[in-house]
Chain A
Amino acid sequence: MNEATTTARDEPLLSVQDLRTHFSINAGLLKAVDGVTFDLQAGQTLGIVGESGSGKTVLSRSIMRLNLGNNVETSGKALFGGKDLLRLPMGQMTDIWGQEIAMVFQDPMTSLNPVVKIGRQVSEHVRKHLAVSKREARGLAVELLKSVRIPEAEVAIDSFPHELSGGMRQRVSIAIALACGPKLLFADEPTTALDVTVQHQILNLLGLQQSERDMAMVLVTHDLGVVAGRTDEIIVMYAGKIVEQSRTRQIFQNTSHPYTEALLRSIPKTDQPSHTRLAAIAGRPPNLITMPSGCSFSPRCPYAQERCFEEEPPLTVTKEGHATACWYQVGTEANRAAWDKNLAAGRPATLAVAEGQVIDEVPLDIGAGGA
């Protein structure tokens, strides 16, 4: 979050090693997460960014062992305080859940129980984990709701979720997650279901609580704009794999992977004239059951060369701590040569970027005004 907390500590709080989560479904084996490795130090913030279906939510749920169903196969390691969460008996997981690791879910409309009062939902797990009395729990619930800036907390604890707005409900979810003082917080798209005006408040609240409590946080989002300035490190995921991983500033200043570049390009900018066409990424995320050979982003990549369709690029550390999985990294000579070659050959994905327009789904004659 800020420079003071970025001093590296010896032992990472969370160390994920070669994590794979595969679902057996009728159509075949779905590799939602396929070999993810990263470390997270205590008190730090990690952003996990990717499109829908990139595996970012499954990744965080895999670490928390919250993928329900009996068709899930998870392998690898997730070391938390020296213990491998993936091999812990479920009985011990219930002691870690809520108390050591907590999660804020995407949609506050569905993640709170509609028939249980707010106060109870905020404090029931505190009573279980920390063995406090009913009266103390009530006081604690009020304190927690105040700490997430819920007005009239004494009234709010006796209300039901449907009596609160979406933003207030997400504040309640955050209060629930913070209640037992966890060391690590997963925030899975915490603002996606909320109004834009509320999004900033919620993100600021999360950041504030995090630095106050010296808690580590994993912020999962599809929006690079959300993680910019709020995270220490960023992982960009595509089709279940990490494609780029670096310190936040590096990701924005020395963007190396074409997918990250495309994500950055697709953020609307306020200085553009209105009605400027949004830069979408051509094509769709790949089918996770029948993956393309070579680089999984190659069908949509403007720089893709023959090698990209045949050989999968490994994740290699190029600069100090900056890892990228690409044969023709953005900013290199090879990348520029690939661009020129594709442009000359008229590769559609390249032309789409060159024209700053989408040729895939939207006809060109709609909304072309402005620029």
Chain B
Amino acid sequence: MLGKVLAVRTVRLIATLFAVSLLTFLLVEQLPGDPILAILPPGGLDDLETIERIRKELRLDDPVLTRYFRWAGDALQGDLGKSYITDQPVSDAIKDRIPVTMELALLATLIAAFLAIPIGAISAYREGGYFDRTMSAFTTAALSIPGFLAGIFFIWLFTLKFNWLPSTGWNRITDKGLLANLQTAILPAGALALAPLAINARLIRADMIGTLKEDYILSAKAKGLRDRYILMRHALRPSSLTAITVFALQLGGLIGGTVVIETVFALPGLGTRLISGIYQRDVVMIQGITLFIATVYVVVNALVDLLYAALDPRIRRQ
């Protein structure tokens, strides 16, 4: 039973990845401008012979689909090609940059989850109360402010005003230790966390208001259990399915979505590498990083399905 479910989901995952990779390849292919022009030395634009030679060398004269399957085949073996411009293998660039992006995304998700659960739960428990109304105003504000503005605000507050934290740069854990690392990570992660925090606090609140009207909450109360225990042990899990879905989508989204924040805080992450690739018309780099981000997104989503089963035993049987 479980095996069949897993098989179906794996097939679906592979199909999705195929579609994603094809779209990535074709879309980047459609970008205006010939990548070869970006590679040529200054003044080489008229040298048609050289252009043709490079095109042959890079086998760019093959039909699109041929090139796609060659690229996809290599990608399956972990080879995403080499940058035309820096000659750096794309997989090396990803390996080099991903820890920063991944840490930002995870830290942002953690902050969001850690705050959204109590905010949502207490708001639902005291629906319409002072806390609920304050948090409703806060979440509205957090949702309407773009992440980069929040980032700039954080820099103004924590760097310029209080001078507690550095505004830009990145300390690697391996070089400077966890504390120094967190000092550089906390502001961008906090800016990234705002929107997911607000969305999830609202989702948990809404779901929980519904859950708290369920009979089993009343029966838990009639057993003499304390409200806090009922909220955390009986109400939270049935109220978190929507939030978990969105959390996972956000985590996937964050890995691709740190681009702007990485730029604001000048962090050496995947996002800044993608941006520089776009500026340089580094087609191979763009394709590789985009495919990587998309794959992470799709895989995270597949994992969410499995997480459902862990949260709600009734799903395990279907």
Encode B28-44 as 1/0 by CB contact (under 8 A) with A.
00000000000000000
Tell me, rounded to whole Å, the shortest Cβ–Cβ distance linking B108 to chain A. Answer: 28
Cβ-neighbour of A116 out of B221, B224, B233 (below 8 A): B233
Tell me, rounded to whole Å, the shortest Cβ–Cβ distance linking A104 to chain B. Answer: 9
A309 at interface, CB cutoff 8 A: no
Interface residues of A in 142-163 (CB under 8 A from B): 160, 162
Contacts of A111 in B (CB 8 A): 215-216, 218-219
In the complex the two chains form, what is the Cα distance from A112 to B215 in whole Å? 8
Are B216 and A94 closer than 8 Å at their CB atoms? no
In the complex the two chains form, what is the Cα distance from A153 to B238 in whole Å? 25
Given the interface pairs A66-B218, A68-B218, A105-B218, the reply to whether A114 lies near B223 with Cβ below 8 Å is no
Tell me, rounded to whole Å, the shortest Cβ–Cβ distance linking A286 to chain B. Answer: 27
Contacts of A116 in B (CB 8 A): 233-234, 237
Are B219 and A99 closer than 8 Å at their CB atoms? no
Are A94 and B237 closer than 8 Å at their CB atoms? no
A110 at interface, CB cutoff 8 A: yes
Encode A93-104 as 1/0 by CB contact (under 8 A) with B.
011111100110
Given the interface pairs A113-B216, A115-B238, A116-B234, the reply to whether A160 lies near B314 with Cβ below 8 Å is yes
Are B223 and A125 closer than 8 Å at their CB atoms? yes
Tell me, rounded to whole Å, the shortest Cβ–Cβ distance linking A151 to chain B. Answer: 21
Encode B184-224 as 1/0 by CB contact (under 8 A) with A.
00000000000000000000000000000011101111111
A176 at interface, CB cutoff 8 A: yes
Smallest CB-CB separation from B227: which chain A residue?
Answer: A94
Contacts of A214 in B (CB 8 A): none
A18 at interface, CB cutoff 8 A: no
In the complex the two chains form, what is the Cα distance from A94 to B218 in whole Å? 12
State the interface size on chain A (CB cutoff 8 A): 29
Contacts of A68 in B (CB 8 A): 218
Given the interface pairs A105-B219, A160-B314, A162-B313, the reply to whether A115 lies near B226 with Cβ below 8 Å is no
B173 at interface, CB cutoff 8 A: no
Are B222 and A114 closer than 8 Å at their CB atoms? no
Are B219 and A128 closer than 8 Å at their CB atoms? no
Are B225 and A125 closer than 8 Å at their CB atoms? yes
Are A97 and B222 closer than 8 Å at their CB atoms? yes
State the interface size on chain B (CB cutoff 8 A): 21
Are B314 and A98 closer than 8 Å at their CB atoms? no
Interface residues of B in 216-259 (CB under 8 A from A): 216, 218-226, 229, 233-234, 237-238
Contacts of A128 in B (CB 8 A): 224-226, 229
Are B313 and A97 closer than 8 Å at their CB atoms? no
Are B215 and A97 closer than 8 Å at their CB atoms? no
Contacts of B214 in A (CB 8 A): 110
A107 at interface, CB cutoff 8 A: yes
Smallest CB-CB separation from B217: which chain A residue?
Answer: A113
Contacts of A160 in B (CB 8 A): 313-314
A277 at interface, CB cutoff 8 A: no
Contacts of A114 in B (CB 8 A): 216, 238, 312-314
Are A115 and B312 closer than 8 Å at their CB atoms? yes
Looking at chain A's contact residues, the main secondary structure is loop
A64 at interface, CB cutoff 8 A: yes
Given the interface pairs A66-B218, A110-B216, A113-B238, the reply to whether A176 lies near B314 with Cβ below 8 Å is no
Cβ-neighbour of A125 out of B216, B224, B311, B313 (below 8 A): B224
Interface residues of B in 106-123 (CB under 8 A from A): none
Are A176 and B218 closer than 8 Å at their CB atoms? no
A129 at interface, CB cutoff 8 A: yes
Are B312 and A64 closer than 8 Å at their CB atoms? no
Smallest CB-CB separation from B313: which chain A residue?
Answer: A160
In the complex the two chains form, what is the Cα distance from A107 to B215 in whole Å? 8
Cβ-neighbour of B219 out of A95, A96, A115, A173 (below 8 A): A173
Contacts of B233 in A (CB 8 A): 116, 124
Cβ-neighbour of A103 out of B219, B226, B234, B311 (below 8 A): B219
In the complex the two chains form, what is the Cα distance from A199 to B221 in whole Å? 26
In the complex the two chains form, what is the Cα distance from A97 to B218 in whole Å? 11
Smallest CB-CB separation from B317: which chain A residue?
Answer: A162
Contacts of B222 in A (CB 8 A): 64, 66, 97-98, 102-103, 105
Contacts of A97 in B (CB 8 A): 221-224
Tell me, rounded to whole Å, the shortest Cβ–Cβ distance linking A224 to chain B. Answer: 26
Interface residues of A in 73-113 (CB under 8 A from B): 94-99, 102-103, 105, 107, 110-113
In the complex the two chains form, what is the Cα distance from A81 to B216 in whole Å? 28
Tell me, rounded to whole Å, the shortest Cβ–Cβ distance linking B221 to chain A. Answer: 7
In the complex the two chains form, what is the Cα distance from A96 to B215 in whole Å? 19
Are B215 and A105 closer than 8 Å at their CB atoms? yes
Smallest CB-CB separation from B238: which chain A residue?
Answer: A115
In the complex the two chains form, what is the Cα distance from A113 to B311 in whole Å? 13
Tell me, rounded to whole Å, the shortest Cβ–Cβ distance linking B239 to chain A. Answer: 10
Are B314 and A162 closer than 8 Å at their CB atoms? yes
In the complex the two chains form, what is the Cα distance from A98 to B214 in whole Å? 18
Are B215 and A115 closer than 8 Å at their CB atoms? no
Tell me, rounded to whole Å, the shortest Cβ–Cβ distance linking A37 to chain B. Answer: 24
Are B224 and A99 closer than 8 Å at their CB atoms? yes
Contacts of A105 in B (CB 8 A): 215, 218-219, 222
Given the interface pairs A94-B226, A105-B215, A110-B215, the reply to whether A115 lies near B311 with Cβ below 8 Å is yes
Contacts of B219 in A (CB 8 A): 103, 105, 111-112, 173, 176
Smallest CB-CB separation from B314: which chain A residue?
Answer: A162
Smallest CB-CB separation from A110: which chain B residue?
Answer: B215
Extra contacts besides A105-B218, A115-B313, A124-B223 (7): CB < 8 Å: A66-B218, A96-B224, A102-B222, A102-B223, A110-B214, A114-B313, A162-B314
The interface of chain B, by Cβ under 8 A from chain A, is 214-216, 218-226, 229, 233-234, 237-238, 311-314
The interface of chain A, by Cβ under 8 A from chain B, is 64, 66, 68, 94-99, 102-103, 105, 107, 110-116, 124-125, 128-129, 160, 162, 173, 176, 180
- A-B contacts, 14 of them at CB < 8 A, read A94-B224, A94-B225, A98-B225, A99-B224, A102-B223, A110-B214, A111-B216, A112-B216, A114-B313, A114-B314, A115-B312, A116-B233, A116-B237, A125-B223
